């Protein structure tokens, strides 16, 4: 089964959409990453992104996000309710499936070293990855926040980093670590008195003699007092217990909880445990919950779960994206996957030992093309959305709007043009692996070539329609000329592939 590691980085900006969107896009740019949530809070001036993937993809995505945040966020100009020490304040890794805490600890060390050496950012390790007992708690590292850290780094021994330079920069320091699931959970009170919220937080949190595995602080958010909490182990200290203690402490002060707020994501078990407690469903089994039964059925037949129902439904919907360009990219990715499949069925077989090294190269190349074309599925949809946004940009002058439309249209043409280029490459890979690989899978390679040709032709339609809208007709003509060559070459490659498949497949 696929490895899944969760990463929940916190960035010190929740007020500028262009900043936290750029950071989230940097994360999304890594193949194999699924961004599950982007939660921005203007009062805390903080954004929490939740994404998952395997160890390699998660490491790369976190690195790109840290680099982008350092580029866009200046802590010398930052103000907000939440404690912080860096532009990328904290980067925790959480094992979810087929991953251990030790895997996450090693991941934290690799990323920390890379961030320190390549980006020149001061790095501290915390949680399960901490190198010193006093750094296990994030609050100990962040004590005094950015301003005190800036004054003490390079002077005080306790500020010596685990990786990176012992010197202050406007992007601050980044704390990287490994931990179990953490639930960020806030309760609002019917008062604006933050002192009372702090009194309740003090009664609740572990460091003041309250509940174990609970961190809590009081804040004012939009004029309302808030008890902001991190639940470090919801199985040992469940949500209902925390909720009830806050309510009792509030009642003692003549207050009431008006609403709760979940920041980012939480495990389904935590909410199910809360539902069971409050509804007194002590004997209810997980199998009685519809979604659990559906997930169980999918696990029993994983092929059913692999069907991209959500994408198909989105294409079939009445929104303009995802459309033909995204479908073209998907077709190209499927073609690459089929070539990769045939190569995978060849490598390691004694019968094909003589071509092992060649097929291994084809296997790796097909994987690279599949990853790039998969990324293009969302890139194409976003490029179209950007064109529409440029047309609707009423806050720009006429000249600025024309320029914005031109730039967006160029990008909207370049994405499918790259799909056509890669689809041509996929057709060549499919031909080569069909010639060398396991004959039992030759029809799969042939199908991959057909998908590549369809992808190239469909992508070409998008290139042409964007070319027709360009003011820069020299660029447009260059696109058309390249397309003509790409389509001709792709067709020739697929024709060769079909001859090979017919001969080797015996049909």
Active site positions, annotated: 82, 380
Terminal CA-to-CA distance of the chain, rounded, Å?
Answer: 36
Q: 219 — phi, psi (to 5°)?
A: -140, 165
Burial class (CB in 10 A: 0-12, 13-18, 19+), 329: buried
Measured distance CA(338)–CA(361) in Å, rounded: 15
Tokens 């890594």 found at:
30
Burial class (CB in 10 A: 0-12, 13-18, 19+), 494: buried
Measured distance CA(38)–CA(58) in Å, rounded: 16
Cα–Cα distance list, 448 to 323, 366, 443, 452 (Å): 21, 11, 8, 6
Cα–Cα distance list, 256 to 44, 59, 202, 237 (Å): 23, 43, 17, 22
Q: Which long-range contacts (CB under 8 A, 24 or more apart) does 15-18 make?
A: 15/40, 15/42, 15/45
Measured distance CA(370)–CA(329) in Å, rounded: 9
Tokens 């914005």 found at:
404
């Amino acid at each position: 089964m696929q490895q899944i590691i969760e990463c929940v980085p916190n960035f010190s900006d929740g007020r500028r959409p262009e900043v936290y969107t750029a950071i989230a896009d940097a994360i999304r740019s890594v193949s194999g990453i699924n961004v599950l949530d982007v939660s921005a809070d203007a009062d805390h001036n903080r954004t929490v992104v939740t994404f998952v993937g395997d160890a390699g993809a998660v490491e790369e995505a976190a690195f790109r996000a840290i680099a982008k945040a350092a580029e866009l966020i200046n802590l010398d100009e930052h103000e907000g309710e939440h404690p912080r020490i860096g532009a990328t304040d904290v980067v925790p890794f959480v094992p979810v499936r087929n991953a251990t805490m030790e895997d996450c600890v090693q991941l934290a060390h690799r990323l920390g070293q890379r961030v320190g050496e390549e980006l020149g950012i001061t790095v501290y390790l915390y949680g399960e990855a901490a190198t010193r007992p006093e750094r296990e708690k994030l609050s100990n590292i962040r004590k005094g926040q950015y301003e005190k850290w800036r004054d003490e780094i390079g002077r005080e021994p306790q500020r010596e980093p685990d990786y990176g330079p012992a010197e202050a920069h406007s992007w601050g320091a980044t704390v990287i670590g490994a931990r179990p699931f953490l639930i960020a959970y806030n309760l609002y009170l019917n008062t604006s008195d933050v002192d009372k919220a702090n009194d309740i937080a003090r009664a609740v949190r572990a460091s003041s003699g309250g509940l174990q595995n609970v961190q809590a602080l009081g804040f004012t958010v939009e004029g309302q007092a808030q008890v902001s909490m991190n639940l470090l182990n919801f199985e040992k200290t469940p949500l209902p217990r925390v909720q009830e203690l806050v309510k009792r402490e509030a009642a003692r002060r003549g207050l009431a909880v008006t609403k709760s707020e979940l920041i980012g994501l939480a495990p389904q078990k935590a909410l199910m445990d809360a539902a069971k407690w409050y509804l007194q469903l002590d004997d209810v089994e997980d199998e009685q919950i519809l979604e659990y039964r559906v997930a169980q059925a999918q696990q029993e037949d994983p092929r059913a779960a692999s069907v991209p129902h959500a994408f198909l439904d989105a294409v079939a919907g009445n929104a303009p994206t995802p459309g033909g360009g995204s479908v073209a990219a998907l077709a190209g990715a499927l073609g690459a996957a089929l070539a990769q499949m045939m190569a995978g069925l060849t490598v390691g077989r004694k019968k094909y030992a003589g071509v092992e090294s060649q097929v291994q190269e084809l296997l790796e190349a097909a994987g690279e093309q599949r990853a790039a074309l998969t990324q293009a599925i969302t890139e194409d949809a976003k490029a179209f959305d950007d064109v529409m946004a440029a047309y609707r940009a009423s806050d720009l002058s006429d000249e600025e709007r024309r320029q914005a439309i031109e730039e967006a249209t160029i990008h909207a043409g370049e994405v499918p043009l790259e799909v056509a280029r890669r689809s041509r490459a996929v057709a060549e890979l499919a031909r080569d692996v069909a010639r060398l690989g396991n004959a039992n899978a030759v029809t799969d390679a042939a199908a991959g070539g057909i998908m590549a040709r369809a992808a190239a032709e469909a992508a070409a339609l998008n290139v042409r329609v964007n070319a027709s809208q360009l003011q820069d007709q020299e660029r447009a003509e260059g696109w058309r000329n390249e397309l003509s060559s790409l389509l001709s070459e792709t067709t020739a490659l697929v024709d060769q592939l079909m001859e090979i498949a017919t001969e080797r497949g015996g049909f």
